[in-house]
Structure 1
Amino acid sequence: MDQIAAMRAFVRVVEAGTFTRAADLLDMPKPTVTKLIQQLEAHLRTKLLNRTTRRVGVTPDGAAYYERALALLSDLDELDGSMTRSQASPTGRLRVDVPSSLALFGIIPALPDFFARYPEITLDLGVSDRPVDLVAENVDCAIRGGDLVDPSLIARRIGEVRLMLCASPAYLATYGMPRDPRDLEESHRVIGYFSARTGRRVAFDVVRGDESYELDLPYAVATNDSTAYLSAALAGLGIAQAIEPMVLKYLDAGSLVRILPEWSSAPIVLHVVYSPNRHLSSRLRVFVDWVAEIFSTSRIYRWPAPALELLRGPNVSA
């Protein structure tokens, strides 16, 4: 038995959930994958997988073996890469978790540059606003905004994003253009956003000089996903407080209009976080450096003066 091949087959079956899908990903016949798993189980004298007609699940022994096998294979790939290529050309698979808005409007548009630099890296990009357990879900790193709630993670600050208030022309035609934060409390509704981790709704906050307001405003709909939040704003369901890169093109097109442009919100600080137990491979290191670079060079989140003018949008009166 080729134990390394068997371990790779086992890891891929666990991740794919079926032998058929794993065989496709490994580019080998399904009977070969089945035979490798059987040989591995015989070698270990334990059952690693529970097989059903539709899905494959791991046994408790299989789950423990998966974690150790994955770490070992990662180290092996890293060792091979260090011997056969320079550190400037890292290889292998990297799993990253990114909030929806940052993925769609920031990271993904910049990825062609990353793959031009590192063509041998394969990126598994988890995209959602759900907080993930980096260790339990075998995630190499995550990009997170706001306060860090897990002090056990290693965090590197990579930049910040600004928030702005906006609404659709249809909403403003119905409710009027607010002139002051107090107007929001008196005659407007917002789109609510609640934490996927705590279920708590996030209040609006705005600042102008020494004046500041934290507004817990009425809403018709609330969501815990930023892309759904944007969709609700475009549908005219209320006023949104969204990150700048997410709404820029819609402000430019007139689908959204900026509200109270003289008022601002505290920026959201962004970090790349990873577990201290996670081996800092060359592929993880270059990804973290690349993400920090695209923020520090302002290619996404700091806009030149013409773009800032677009962010103000057309003036819609009541």
Structure 2
Amino acid sequence: MDHHLLAIRVFARVVETGGFTRAADSLRMPKATVTKLIQNLENHLQTKLFQRTTRSMSVTEAGECYYQRVIKWLAELEQMEGSLTKSQAAPQGVLRIDVGGSTARQVLLPALPDFIARYPQIQIDLGVCDRIIDLINDSADCVIRSGPLADSSLIARRLFPLKWVTCATPAYLARYGTPQHPCDLEQDYPLAHYRHALNDRIQPLRFIDQGKEIDILHRYQVSVNESNAHLASALAGLGIIQTFRFMAQPHLDSGELISVLDNWQLPDEQMYVVYPSNRHLSAKLRVFIDWAVETFK
């Protein structure tokens, strides 16, 4: 029965990741083991679950129907086991979380000792980067990210609001002057732009003026694709930047940075913890999500 249950779990992961190799990597088992388990499952069901060639793999109609039933059953099994064992009271195992650099440094890591004290049997594997990952293929249990969801198959729990700030060093403003309107930045103000890690596109400075959005994409001294380095570029006097206030606040308080154009800021964004809707919610993931919402709300 244990072997058959493992085959079912492996089957679900192959469907979710879209391939035997990705499933094997995410489950940390040899690809040959994954292949053998799927073959045994197909023999047991006397049904072909995947169409496989040397170049591609696809789920058969029978396989898709089986998957839709399997994921519901796995979720129910997880909940049942959680209620009958100590796993709900003492969740354990490795929890893989992906988070942006500045959020990790200033928000999550300072708070994690509290979570670890509550749940000492959970190990945290923290992936830190500004690139938005694929939750399924990159094998993360959840991510902490800002902005709207681009994938309707994901579930997001709100953590806290994010306010924007436009800022520069006192020395920079003494040299170039303090802008009075966003359009002033199109003149002789060097900028330090943020460059998206995923698509390498420059993010313009954005402002709201009388209900209209103004985008400023002027010449820049430097562009950076990581949030901590982007903040460091402003502290080095390389240009005006636009960033989340929680990142800049310590430097605003110390006087290292000065906020400008406060009357034209964008509306708040939201920070979320995000996880797949089609993956059963394990006890370790459930307690982390609840803890994060409680801690950061």
Q: Could you tell me whether the CA contact under 8 Å between 1:190 and 1:220 is conserved in 2?
A: yes
Give distance in 2, aligned partners of 1:127 and 1:234.
22
Deviation at 1:79, TM superposition (A): 8.7
- Give the deviation of 1:160 after TM superposition: 2.2
Cα distance per residue 1:206-255 (max 9 Å; x no partner)? 22554642222221211111011011111111111111111111111221
Which runs of structure 1 show a deviation greater than 3 angstroms over 4 or more consecutive aligned residues? Answer: 57-60, 62-66, 76-84, 208-212
Aligned to 2:218: 217
CA distance in 2, matches of 1:287, 1:97: 13
Q: Aligned pair in 2 of structure 1 residues 164, 79: CA closer, same or farther (>3 Å)? A: same
Q: What SS is found at the alignment partner of 1:187?
A: coil
1:245 is matched with which residue? 246
The answer to whether the 8 A contact 2:193-2:220 is kept is yes
**Counterpart Cα distance in 1 of 2:232 and 2:106:** 14
Cα 1:237–1:84 change in 2 (3 A) is same
1:204 and 2:205 are equivalent in the alignment: yes
Contact 2:87 2:283 in 1 (8 A): no
The match for 1:299 is none
**Residue of structure 2 in register with 1:117 after alignment:** 118
CA shift digits 1:113-145 (9 cap, x unpaired): 222322222111111101212112211001121
The amino acid across from 1:61 in the alignment is: A
Q: Deviations over 1:181-208 (max 9, x none)?
A: 1221122121111222222221211225
Q: CA deviation at 1:163?
A: 0.9
CA–CA separation in structure 2 for the residues paired with 1:131 and 1:223: 16
Q: Distance in 2 between matches of 1:85 and 1:267?
A: 41
Letter in 1 for 2:202: R
The share of aligned pairs that are identical, in percent, is 43
**What is aligned with 1:100?**
101
Q: Secondary structure at the match of 2:215?
A: strand
TM-score normalised by length of structure 1: 0.66
CA contact (8 A) 1:191 1:219 kept: yes
What residue ranges of structure 2 are gaps of 5+ in the alignment? 7-23, 38-76
Check whether the contact 2:168–2:235 (CA below 8 A) recurs between aligned residues: yes
> Could you say if the C-alpha distance between residues 212 and 142 of structure 1 is closer, same or farther in structure 2, counting changes exceeding 3 Å?
same
- 1:83: how far off? 5.3
**Of 208-217 and 228-237, the range deviating more from structure 2:** 208-217
| Aligned with residue 61 of structure 1, among 24, 32, 44 | 32
Compute the RMSD of aligned alpha carbons: 3.2
The 5 Å alignment of 1:11-160 reads 60-61=31-32, 85=86, 87-160=88-161
- Aligned-partner Cα distance in 1 for 2:169–2:36: 52
TM-score (norm 2): 0.70
Distance in 1 of aligned mates of 2:249 and 2:154: 32
Which amino acid in the other structure matches residue 116 of structure 1? A
Residue 291 (1) aligns with residue 282 (2): no
Report the secondary structure of 2:264's partner residue. coil
8 A Cα contact 2:206 2:213, kept in partner:
yes
For 1:169, the equivalent position in structure 2 comes to 170
Give CA deviations for 1:73-126 in whole Å, capped at 9, x if unaligned: xxx999987655362432221000011111111111111222232222211111
Aligned equivalents of 1:189, 1:147: Cα separation in 2: 30
Task: Provide the secondary structure at the position in 1 that maps to 2:120.
Answer: coil
Task: Kindly indicate whether the alpha-carbon contact (under 8 Å) linking 1:81 and 1:91 is maintained by their aligned counterparts in 2.
Answer: no
CA 212–154 in structure 1, closer or farther in 2 if over 3 Å, else same: closer
Q: CA deviation at 1:266?
A: 2.3
Q: What amino acid sits opposite 1:151 in the alignment?
A: S
Map of 1:231 onto structure 2: 232
Using the alignment, how far apart are the partners of 1:107 and 1:181 within structure 2? 33
Structure 1: any 5+ residue segments left out of the alignment? 8-47, 50-56, 67-75, 297-318
Provide the aligned length of Structure 1 versus Structure 2: 239
